[in-house]
Amino acid sequence: MVRLVDLSEAERTALLNLPCSTFSTTPWVEGLPLRERRVAVISTAGLHTRGDRRFGSDSADYRIIPGDVGANDLVTSHIAAEFDRTAFQDDVNVVLPLDRLCELATKDEIGSVADFHYSFMGATAPEAMAPAARHLAGLLKKDRVDAALLVPV
Amino acid sequence: MSGLAHIIETEGVATTLISLVREHTAKIRPPRALWVPFPFGRPFGIANDAAFQTRVLKAALRLLEQAQGPILEDYGEEAPLPADHGGWLCPVSFADVEADGDLATALAAEMRLMTPWHDRAVARRGRTIVGALGRPIEDVARFLLSQLDGPPVPPPPGMTATDAVIFATEDLKAFYFEAATAQPGYVTGDDLAKWLYAETAAGRLLTALQARS
């Protein structure tokens, strides 16, 4: 269990000095009240269903995670050894909170949960993921998603 | 992650995200972000604590109702260790496994001892995350041993040798960690890693492979 503050100074400096993309604009999409929104999760934990294609070192695409995926059908092929998998091993929801979202939908605190969710493999350079991310946005709109929850690992 | 938020929001879908590295998020300035003070690998804080996870989730979703941004909000609640944490002991005793013996033999003996506990862990949780390499755990061990002593078993089709070693490593670790945590009670990832690398043949194998790379 490592937080940024727990890393050695050299590791912390290396992580903080990783190049970050910059954007000249700040997009902002207005929307409905939360209780009317349809929510999808986008993870960068390298998640996929057990039979799906694994991620590789240079994977810039995403995998589709059905909303009704069973916990035992979900694995990760994230290539970073630093990713502590012990929490995911114990409880999927600490990484991909689909059960928690369904509970909020049942209580009408959100409108609904999307039929499909998605995962990238976060060790890939963000610029390389851009084409797949744009394509993914189109899929979200087809699924009537108006709120995407992005979750790192 | 913040870059993905920029792209997806630009395409017309509102986003909110969890941030684990505040400094990166502050530089990239995605539309809405909630920084959480949790360890890497635990963006919703605590496994098997639905109430805690829900509080984090709702805090992130509530950012969607803000009128303007970009927003980078700090989540104020830490994820404490449970009261029963401490004094963890692996339920498996390797007293009869010869630590100085042949690595392949010691690993096989260890895995035989771990297997009933892994079965119990799978039954308790109803799942396993072993499966990145897509091979049975005995083949995973054989694959890793072959990378050390040769001749190297080739990676599965479509997978590079480097990725296969990474996936096999994570599968072997997951097998040990799942088995070691078959009994209820809290153990941290640090506890498990220290045990694996200090006390097991699997740890010796992984350390030897790392030294070769």
| Gap between the Cα atoms of A7 and A2, Å rounded | 7
Q: pTM, whole model, 2 decimals? A: 0.84
Rg of the Cα atoms in chain B: 21
B9-40 per-residue burial string, b: 16 or more CB within 10 A, e: under 16: bbbebbbbbbbbbbbbbeebbbbbbbbbbbbb
Q: Tokens for B106?
A: 């010691």
Contacts of B145 by beta carbon, 8 Å cutoff, 6+ apart: B103, B104, B107, B205
Q: Which residue is closest to A13 within chain B, CA to CA? A: B23
| Gap between the Cα atoms of A135 and A126, Å rounded | 14
Query: Hey, how many other C-beta atoms are within 10 angstroms of the C-beta on B100?
Result: 6
The Cα of B150 is separated from the nearest Cα of chain A by a number of Å equal to: 23
pLDDT tens-digit map of B157-203? 989 999 999 999 999 999 999 999 887 777 778 888 889 999 999 99
Query: What is the DSSP track for A34-98?
Result: GGG-EEEEEE-B-EEETTSPPP-TT--S-EEEETT--GGGEEE----TTS--HHHHH-GGGTS-H
**For chain A, percent of residues with pLDDT exceeding 70:** 97
**Single-letter residue type at B205:** L
Question: For all residues of chain B together, what is the average pLDDT?
Answer: 90
| Gap between the Cα atoms of B133 and B112, Å rounded | 20
A40-61 per-residue burial string, b: 16 or more CB within 10 A, e: under 16: bbbbbbbbbbeebebbbeebbb
Q: Which candidate from B132, B134, B177 shows the least CB-CB separation from A86?
A: B177
Q: How confident is the model at residue B85 (pLDDT cuts 50, 70, 90)?
A: low
The pLDDT value given to residue B2: 87
CB distance B17–A151 less than 8 Å? yes
**Single-letter residue type at B37:** P
| Gap between the Cα atoms of A28 and B6, Å rounded | 9
Residues of B within 8 A of A37 (CB-CB) are 61, 64
The pLDDT value given to residue B37: 94
**Poorest-confidence range of A1-15, A73-87, B95-109, B171-185?**
A1-15
pLDDT tens-digit map of A98-138? 999 999 999 999 999 999 999 999 888 878 999 999 999 99
**Poorest-confidence range of A31-35, A57-61, B199-203?**
A57-61
Q: Who has greater pLDDT, A10 or B209? A: B209
3-state SS class at B182: coil
CB distance B131–A137 less than 8 Å? no
Residues of A within 8 A of B58 (CB-CB) are 104, 109
3-state SS class at B1: coil
Q: How confident is the model at residue A17 (pLDDT cuts 50, 70, 90)?
A: confident
CB distance A56–B163 less than 8 Å? yes
Residues of A within 8 A of B18 (CB-CB) are 149-152
CB distance B41–A138 less than 8 Å? no
The Cα of A62 is separated from the nearest Cα of chain B by a number of Å equal to: 12
Direct distance between the N- and C-terminal alpha carbons of chain B, in angstroms, rounded to an integer: 29
The pLDDT value given to residue A56: 86
The Cα of B159 is separated from the nearest Cα of chain A by a number of Å equal to: 7
| Gap between the Cα atoms of B10 and B12, Å rounded | 5
B142-177 per-residue burial string, b: 16 or more CB within 10 A, e: under 16: bbbbebeeeeebebbeebeeebbbbbbbbbbbbbbb
Q: How many CB pairs under 8 A join A and B?
A: 256
CB distance A31–B61 less than 8 Å? no
CB distance A34–B7 less than 8 Å? no
**Among A75, A103, A109, the residue to mutate for chain B (most B Cβ within 10 A):** A75
Residues of B within 8 A of A130 (CB-CB) are 3, 7
Q: Who has greater pLDDT, B125 or B34? A: B34
